[in-house]
Structure 1
């Protein structure tokens, strides 16, 4: 395992993630203060795009896997055919989705499943138009992101993503100062950011993979079908995950009487859990190229070692924000959204983050299903749990007075059961190792979260939090303490060296 490159990639990815999340959390209260109970439409627009991406992912999910493996096996011609086939396949899919996107935007005021206030209709229509345009551009250009993945240079895309986020916030602040704040400006800013990222991804492809380019003569329907036949199972996985995590925003707006208020409340409550989940994906994504390369090289011992290291690094990093949300969440929400009920926000956010108590320790195992091409059973189980979650939500909504809390509660229950019973056992089977090999990592994660949460609750009893300054000072003290505990308790020597390398790379300004 290339520990130096892994450390550099990790540092760059985390820096880009921090900038992105900082912008999101800073922007949300500004929009909500200017346009009460409308921020939920930003989340809902992105949720609709995610449903479309579920279909698109049937072609794109396996692209990185096939291109990377063929490049590292010296089969450049084969890699080029997959590259071109995915590009033209995405162009075709963008054309197919254009008509329904136009229908949704034009007839938004008459859609039975979407209730938009009359005074915000034009603004929401423009927002969704920009969100859809951003989606079309991102799927067409997505194949160009494979180059940095295949050559294990994720640091390059991370830095450009950070610059793209900075460009996005400059545009938003500039337009908010010149004109009145509007939802559609959020969509326009995202489109500008995607254009910038797409330009650099295409440039990196020419630099890192000079022999790989889009050629019409390299397009193969056979390659497209091969990718779709495997990727369709991953689309089912994403559909199940969306039923677990995303359909609640739509249902809360359609089924609960206080429509936009409940949708906004749930959207705000899920921002921190979603950010934590995104951070988890960022950390896992750093390991995925090396996992894929190790599999391509046929080194099973190296592959399992990388997976175990990723699990421990995940616990080292992820247990801290999860524990801090558990201990300090109410104080954070009281300061961040002073016009909302902090207790309700805290309850909803803890339900939304509940599944991460388990999944944070084994999230990398989902990539095992992809590289081994054993995605069928995982897809069916995730889809089944998503359907069960949606049905349970509807039952709880009709039989109890839990209200909007029904949705994250159902998602948490089904997600925890799946990750405790199925995921670690089936991943071990795919790797042909002992069935309970990954349960020690899950229990290690429980121990880490529990220890840090107790420390946080004790500190909160000693120093009550009533202002941003006290909250930040508490984080300054408790954050390093939690890192120190995890550094010596969770990490082995090899992961400690990796973390030290990551810190050194940032101090030296390496890229």
Structure 2
């Protein structure tokens, strides 16, 4: 059984590398978007965002497979069962390759008819088609890389996954700047995506070969029963992912269809902050989830229960300050970041980010569904809510003259209802706890969020920042003034004692 000290050490290492990846994502993301707009225009950036969104729809299968394989491979690894580990490893990778081959006709049809499916301007269909080909190929390489790196997840070495992801981010960004500065062609962006994914894929193969020499990708390890078992679990996870993506990624597809490429580019630009906050939350989900799996594998249900509750508190507290500041200073951020022409979209930015204090706080407990293999009900709930989001989105677009705000309103309301009512109560039911088990933890983060908004309102009245330096200083002051509230109001006595103990051990 893994010691508490070992868990803390690995969590610290994972947290550090996750934050490094996050900082790079934020910094490079904030720089790359204005660079895109300056080189290829808002329409061009809208096409890139649409291509990455299409890849996200393909991920409905891949994310589900990763989750199912990760769970079963972790249980096998914890038992030191090399035979079962090799069977799961080879079976999952071979099955994934066969699945990709099966999807190729659909992808080929989409690419062939792309000019009739996608609304675009200013760029030839061939150039746009190449962008989609390259980004989809990049996504496929990333998916297969994730399966090769399942041992890193199972051994709680998330930092390896992050180092390889950082390599991909750095190579892609460097290539984008070099290639677009040489020639502002949309197709060059696709080349940057493809090469960076290929480099990171090779790096993953080298690491796995050196650190897990007993793992071999062999046809004779292929086991149909393993594929069927993983497939049965993956099916409901796929249904869940379809619903999730109908919440997150359907927006720009509807906007592209009803309002065109320019509206898609404008929405995608503002939505970048929504994406960054999700990435920020993903840092913590990535380090929390393997620990939940380990507690479950070790049958340490007492610590699993406590840990799952603490993760919700931690997520809410670390999100409250950045979300509160982004909401309060949305107009200032847009003006400094992409210029005056985007400032009037600040209500959209508030709409896209404000509800995340609720919807991201519950992310850590979603792993409870997977680890207990209780994925059918969440899958159906997410799927039907996603379909409802699509239907209501179309109705609102056709009924009201809300423009690019239409889909954002519907998504925010439905996602919040789902994650505030269903997600915490279902996880509590799995753990045989009261339906209200997680709500005090959720409310702690919401209380800090309100406090940050009040401080920001006061700060804006005293001094409205006119530069990045001023905005950063204002954010730092608000953050520092929020720490006492978080410590004395948001955290309870047991949580303060736990954090104090961890700090003393570090010192």
Q: Which of the residues 212, 223, 237 maps onto 1:209? A: 212
For each residue in 1:400-439, what CA deviation from the matched residue of structure 2 results, as whole angstroms up to 9, or x when unmatched?
A: 2212211011011111111121111110111112221100
Whether 1:162 aligns to 2:166 is yes
Whether 1:438 aligns to 2:421 is no
For each residue in 1:175-199, what CA deviation from the matched residue of structure 2 results, as whole angstroms up to 9, or x when unmatched?
A: 233x222333332222222223222
Q: Secondary structure at the match of 1:61?
A: helix
Q: How does 1:68-83 map to 2 (within 5 A)?
A: 68-83=74-89
Give 1:61's aligned residue.
67
CA contact (8 A) 1:133 1:191 kept: yes
Write the distance in 1 (CA, Å) between the matches of 2:505 and 2:252.
37
Give 1:49's aligned residue.
55
Give 1:247's aligned residue.
250
Runs (5+) with no aligned partner, structure 2: none
Write the distance in 2 (CA, Å) between the matches of 1:140 and 1:8.
25
CA contact (8 A) 1:58 1:232 kept: yes
Whether 1:31 aligns to 2:36 is yes
Aligned length: 498
CA contact (8 A) 2:70 2:154 kept: yes
Write the distance in 1 (CA, Å) between the matches of 2:180 and 2:272.
22
For each residue in 1:296-339, what CA deviation from the matched residue of structure 2 results, as whole angstroms up to 9, or x when unmatched?
A: 11111111122122112212211121111111111000111215
Q: How does 1:142-157 map to 2 (within 5 A)?
A: 142-157=146-161
Write the distance in 2 (CA, Å) between the matches of 1:171 and 1:500.
41
Write the distance in 2 (CA, Å) between the matches of 1:98 and 1:180.
31
Q: Secondary structure at the match of 1:403?
A: coil
CA contact (8 A) 1:128 1:184 kept: no
Write the distance in 2 (CA, Å) between the matches of 1:119 and 1:399.
32
Give 2:336's aligned residue.
335
CA contact (8 A) 2:359 2:419 kept: yes
For each residue in 1:89-113, what CA deviation from the matched residue of structure 2 results, as whole angstroms up to 9, or x when unmatched?
A: 111122122333333334422x2x3
Give 1:235's aligned residue.
238
CA contact (8 A) 2:254 2:394 kept: no
Q: CA deviation at 1:122?
A: 3.5
Q: CA deviation at 1:211?
A: 2.1
Runs (5+) with no aligned partner, structure 1: 505-511
Cα RMSD, aligned residues only: 2.1
Give 1:356's aligned residue.
356
Q: Give the alignment's TM-score, normalised by structure 2.
A: 0.93
CA contact (8 A) 1:70 1:78 kept: yes
CA contact (8 A) 1:266 1:404 kept: yes
Q: Give the alignment's TM-score, normalised by structure 1.
A: 0.92
Distance 1:375 1:240, change over 3 A: same
CA contact (8 A) 1:358 1:419 kept: yes
Give 2:451's aligned residue.
451
Write the distance in 1 (CA, Å) between the matches of 2:168 and 2:110.
28
Q: Which has the higher contact order (CA 8 A, sep 6+)?
A: 1
Q: Secondary structure at the match of 1:36?
A: helix
Whether 1:219 aligns to 2:222 is yes
Write the distance in 2 (CA, Å) between the matches of 1:183 and 1:475.
36
- My pick for the range that moved more, 263-272 or 93-102, is 93-102
Q: Secondary structure at the match of 2:336?
A: helix
Give 1:393's aligned residue.
393
- My pick for the range that moved more, 164-173 or 13-22, is 164-173
Distance 1:498 1:90, change over 3 A: farther
For each residue in 1:72-126, what CA deviation from the matched residue of structure 2 results, as whole angstroms up to 9, or x when unmatched?
A: 02222112111101110111122122333333334422x2x31222534333222
CA contact (8 A) 1:253 1:260 kept: yes
